[in-house]
Amino acid sequence: MLILAQCYHIHKKGDVILTHHEPVMLTEVLSLIESHSHGKILDGTLGLGGYSHAMLERFPSAKISGVDRDPEAVKISCERLKIYGERFSAMCKNFGKISEVEELKNFDVLVFDLGVSNMQITIPERGFSFNIDGPLDMRMNPNDSTPTAAEILRDSDSQTLTEIFRLYGEERYAKLIASAVKRSHNPINTTSELVAVIRDALPQPVQRKMGTHPARRIFQALRIYVNHETEELESLLRAIHDNSESSLVIFVSYHSLEDRLIKHTFREWHNEGRGRILTRHPLTPSQEEIERNYKARSAKLRAIFLTVD
């Protein structure tokens, strides 16, 4: 089954940009859900509604609540899924604050597909992509009053930037790039200005050996830092532990830091008798899926069934 959520975006200059997001490891997600109760499902990272759409189709008696911190994603999904009436509802919310409003214990299934959607990457104004020129923003919710990536580059010292690039980007040349950012005479306000600084900082032979775009790891690190992605995930895991009752919990992650955090947390829950791990080793996308959708290549799926005494 190939499900593409599409989204038209009218760019400032009047061009129409068509973006779509192909849901990752959808077959694996659906077959896990199929073998458990699934009357009420929380799609905690709604995106363009790819998972929600597939779940609404596959499980006709299921009701789905969608959550995303990106207001544009919520708007697009609501429009796309309104034909399902009361079976689907959505709210704009950071999942790190989910316990404040959501009765987590009422859900049979909680599913989270971390990271960014293709819509966010493709729209120039969002500033997520090293391939598309735009303001260096990277906030998943542009209405947040938190600093943009450009402000973080401007206001952090070289040591802090080195740590961000190393920790969240696993970038070998973190220190070199951080120094180049701080030495730059002009402010770095756009994605292409940052790419140019990174390219200038790295010797040609190093760039050739990298085997990937020289800015990829730095952009990833900034995105994770700007959106406090690790802290939000930690807070979500705590909320699930403290509030959920019997439920299937599924995570799809794309970064080793996140996968490690989920793996260790699931182990703790398992050891304290709070749940039963369903994936001793993480599931990964099939070769056929990676060939069809290269962006799926780093995905890891872990699932646990939570129980209460």
Ligand X SMILES: C[S@@+](CC[C@H](N)C(=O)[O-])C[C@H]1O[C@@H](n2cnc3c(N)ncnc32)[C@H](O)[C@@H]1O
Residues lying near ligand X in the complex (CB under 6 A): 5, 21, 23, 45, 47-51, 67-70, 73, 94-96, 113, 115-117, 140, 232
Q: How far is CA 203 from CA 136, 148, 173, 197, 209, in A?
A: 24, 28, 11, 12, 10
In the complex with ligand X, which residue's Cβ is closer, 67 or 180? 67
**Nearest distance, CB of residue 29 and ligand X, angstroms:** 9
In the complex with ligand X, which residue's Cβ is closer, 23 or 169? 23
In the complex with ligand X, which residue's Cβ is closer, 195 or 250? 250
Spell out the residues 6+ positions from residue 14 whose beta carbon is closer than 8 angstroms to its own: none
**Nearest distance, CB of residue 250 and ligand X, angstroms:** 11
**Nearest distance, CB of residue 80 and ligand X, angstroms:** 10
**Inter-axis angle of helices 174-183 and 191-201, to 10 degrees?**
120
Give burial (CB, 10 Å; 0-12/13-18/19+) of 89. Answer: middle
Separation of alpha carbons 232 and 80, rounded Å: 27
CB atoms within 10 A of CB 87: 16
**Nearest distance, CB of residue 192 and ligand X, angstroms:** 23
**Beta strands across the sheet bearing 247-253:** 88-92, 63-68, 40-43, 109-113, 247-253, 300-306, 275-277
**Nearest distance, CB of residue 67 and ligand X, angstroms:** 6
**Nearest distance, CB of residue 5 and ligand X, angstroms:** 5
Separation of alpha carbons 59 and 259, rounded Å: 28
In the complex with ligand X, which residue's Cβ is closer, 140 or 215? 140
In the complex with ligand X, which residue's Cβ is closer, 198 or 250? 250
CA 11 to chain centre: 23
**Nearest distance, CB of residue 88 and ligand X, angstroms:** 13
Separation of alpha carbons 276 and 234, rounded Å: 20
H/E stretch holding 122 reads helix 118-122
In the complex with ligand X, which residue's Cβ is closer, 123 or 181? 123
**Nearest distance, CB of residue 40 and ligand X, angstroms:** 18
In the complex with ligand X, which residue's Cβ is closer, 116 or 138? 116
Which among 227, 244, 1 is positioned nearest to 107, based on CA atoms? 244
φ, ψ for residue 36 (rounded to 5)? -130, 170
In the complex with ligand X, which residue's Cβ is closer, 50 or 275? 50
Q: How far is CA 122 from CA 127, 129, 131, in A?
A: 9, 7, 9
